[in-house]
Amino acid sequence: MKIVKKIVLVLLVAFVGIQFIPTERNQSDIVPVTDFMLVNKVPNNIKSKLQVSCYDCHSNNTNYPWYNKIQPVAWFLEDHIKQGKAELNFSAWDSLSNRRKSSKIRSIIKQIESNEMPLSSYTKIHSDAKFSENDRNEIIVWIDSLIK
Ligand code: HEC
């Protein structure tokens, strides 16, 4: 019993301790003129779906509910944001050439179609980010029209 108490105490101290390690926050008040939503006429329903389901990892502004600020969740998210933005950053959309935009759109369609994105580890916590079959179809049809 004593040893269990000690282990619990050590874990508790460690958990509290890691909360004080500073992390980088992916936050910005400015929506840059290159943002996907500003350079395209995006219907409102599609706009909110992409913002809720993709923007946390693929833009310059992550929405941080309380559980995203708690370690080690924040570290996992930080890692996903770095990798996600390297692949696709909706905030910097208009700085891509037309050719790169087309190839990104094809890649977005592939990711949504195959249910790879949004990441399942993410939708487990963010149930509002999950797409229904209908959401998927709607987004794919609309985004595909950008390259037609
Ligand atoms: C929790 C973070 C997270 C969310 C939310 C998220 N992504 Fe990603 N995305 C990533 C990461 C990390 C990568 C790079 C690694 C990989 O491909 O799995 C990535 C890669 C991609 C790629 C490039 C894939 C490739 O291999 O070419 C596309 C396109 C993409 N995401 C689109 C989306 C779209 C569209 C949404 C919303 C429907 C979305 N993502 C939501 C984290 C995320």
- The pLDDT value recorded for residue 68 is 83
- The pLDDT value recorded for residue 81 is 96
Q: First-to-last CA distance in the chain? A: 68
- The pLDDT value recorded for residue 65 is 85
- The pLDDT value recorded for residue 39 is 96
- Does the CB atom of residue 58 touch ligand 1 within 6 A? yes
CB 18 within 8 A of CB 71: yes
Which one, of 17, 11, 66, 59, lies nearest residue 34 by Cα? 59
- The pLDDT value recorded for residue 24 is 85
- Does the CB atom of residue 80 touch ligand 1 within 6 A? yes
- Atom 20, ligand 1: residue with shortest CA distance: 84
CB 76 within 8 A of CB 22: no
- Does the CB atom of residue 143 touch ligand 1 within 6 A? no
Cα–Cα distance, 99 to 92 (Å, whole number) = 15
- Does the CB atom of residue 107 touch ligand 1 within 6 A? yes
- The pLDDT value recorded for residue 23 is 82
Around Cβ 133, how many Cβ atoms within 10 Å? Answer: 7
Per residue of the chain (148 residues), give pLDDT as tens.
699 999 999 999 999 999 998 888 999 989 999 999 999 999 999 999 999 999 999 999 999 888 888 898 889 899 999 999 999 999 999 999 999 999 999 999 999 999 999 999 999 988 999 999 999 999 999 999 999 7
Cα–Cα distance, 121 to 134 (Å, whole number) = 21
